[in-house]
A and B are shown apart, each in its own frame.
Chain A
């Protein structure tokens, strides 16, 4: 197997990732996930700073019967900010992908978000990127 040397997160990540606003409804988030065929999204606040990540797993949590009862009492719909995973797990774009793999493995996560100096998401590195890497090797 060929191993590539010194690959950085920036080399592998999806740049300018699709993001969702913290006050979007969960239906909007779900639609974004579905139409883009992805399993998670960075969540940003009103000025575009990363505040969390929302994934299918977070949405599925809402399917647990006790939570569903709660949903029915909600008149205006649930917002992304209420169900997202926070704080988000971030990684430096210049970290090696090995560091990213280690972090993903330790935290049992399928994606890490790279942010700029202002805390805005600039990329997402996902477990699927490692699948793609293995496919190319």
Chain B
């Protein structure tokens, strides 16, 4: 999965001139914890978040508290002092922003968020802000993984490759573990379906309970093979999982 597949496209952004009070209201109303800061051309010049606002806000008596902190030897870099005095976004934002391009793998974006200790990455394409990737998007991506696997099995494996109707199968995917049941004509078909699912992206394990009408792996001499009931019993006793 790439950043593009997961990012939030409708980005709320602010400008460097947006007042911090206004920003607090915007974050609160939109239920988001940070926004990219853009210039007139739509280029991303920074990011401002709740954390940046909290540096300066609350009832913190800055004038009273600061001298004490100096005495106690607490360090204050000029950057933080500047932010505490800020009234507009441009003075309090983190800049330059840590950004990512839409065609980068999600894994790389995740590493960047961890390494640079940021909670969001503006997504930039050709110098313009095209989306934002947040922690919540990553949670959603985790959930979507199983849905994507399930779709791939239905469409790519069953319908397009095997010419089988996906509606005739029960498919359950949890954290990459696929459980499938249904019925096909031949034992070899069931085997191929299992193997194709096994090599589908993201699949870690397949538990197949696909029953077959005819065991075409046997020489056709005995009459039992033609009994569907017996065949389905065989199917359920078929080895449960193919491990990759």
Of B37-45, B56-64, B225-233, the one contacting chain A is B56-64
* Beta-carbon contact of A2 and B204 below 8 Å: yes
- Tell me, yes or no, whether A118 is within 8 Å of chain B by CB: no
- Tell me, yes or no, whether B176 is within 8 Å of chain A by CB: yes
Contacts A59-B58, A110-B135, A134-B110; A128 near B50 (Cβ below 8 A): no
Contact with A along B104-128 (1 / 0, CB 8 A): 0011011101100101000000000
Q: Give the residue of A30, A34, A104 whose beta carbon is less than 8 angstroms from that of B139.
A: A104
**Residues of chain A lying within 8 A (CB to CB) of residue B175:** 3-7, 96-98
From 36 to 87 in chain A, residues with beta carbon under 8 angstroms from any chain B beta carbon are 37, 39, 56-57, 59-65, 68, 71-72, 74, 77-78
Residue of B25, B175, B201 with highest tally of chain A CB at under 10 A? B175
* Beta-carbon contact of A64 and B110 below 8 Å: no
Of B27-35, B160-168, B209-217, the one contacting chain A is B27-35
Closest Cβ neighbor of B149 among chain A residues: A3
Contacts A4-B175, A60-B28, A128-B119; A135 near B111 (Cβ below 8 A): yes
Shortest Cβ distance from A104 into chain B, in angstroms?
Answer: 5
* Beta-carbon contact of A5 and B177 below 8 Å: yes
**Residues of chain B lying within 8 A (CB to CB) of residue A104:** 136, 139
- Tell me, yes or no, whether A26 is within 8 Å of chain B by CB: yes
**Residues of chain B lying within 8 A (CB to CB) of residue A108:** 31, 136
Give the interface size bracket for B toward A. Answer: 35 or more
* Beta-carbon contact of B143 and A72 below 8 Å: no
* Beta-carbon contact of A60 and B138 below 8 Å: no
* Beta-carbon contact of B145 and A3 below 8 Å: yes
- Tell me, yes or no, whether A27 is within 8 Å of chain B by CB: yes
- Tell me, yes or no, whether B174 is within 8 Å of chain A by CB: yes
* Beta-carbon contact of B59 and A59 below 8 Å: no
Contact with A along B44-78 (1 / 0, CB 8 A): 00000011011101111000000000000000000
Q: Give the residue of A27, A60, A132 whose beta carbon is less than 8 angstroms from that of B27.
A: A60
Give the CA-CA distance A37 to B117 in the complex, in Å. Answer: 9
25 A–B pairs (Cβ distance < 8 Å), ordered by A: A2-B204, A3-B204, A4-B175, A30-B54, A34-B54, A39-B33, A39-B51, A56-B50, A59-B58, A60-B28, A62-B57, A68-B59, A96-B175, A97-B175, A98-B146, A101-B143, A105-B136, A105-B139, A126-B135, A128-B114, A131-B114, A134-B106, A134-B110, A135-B110, A135-B111
User: A56-B51, A135-B107 are known contacts; what are 20 more A-B pairs with Cβ within 8 Å?
Assistant: A2-B204, A5-B175, A6-B177, A27-B58, A34-B54, A56-B33, A60-B50, A63-B21, A64-B24, A65-B21, A68-B59, A97-B142, A98-B146, A101-B140, A105-B136, A108-B31, A108-B136, A128-B113, A131-B114, A133-B110
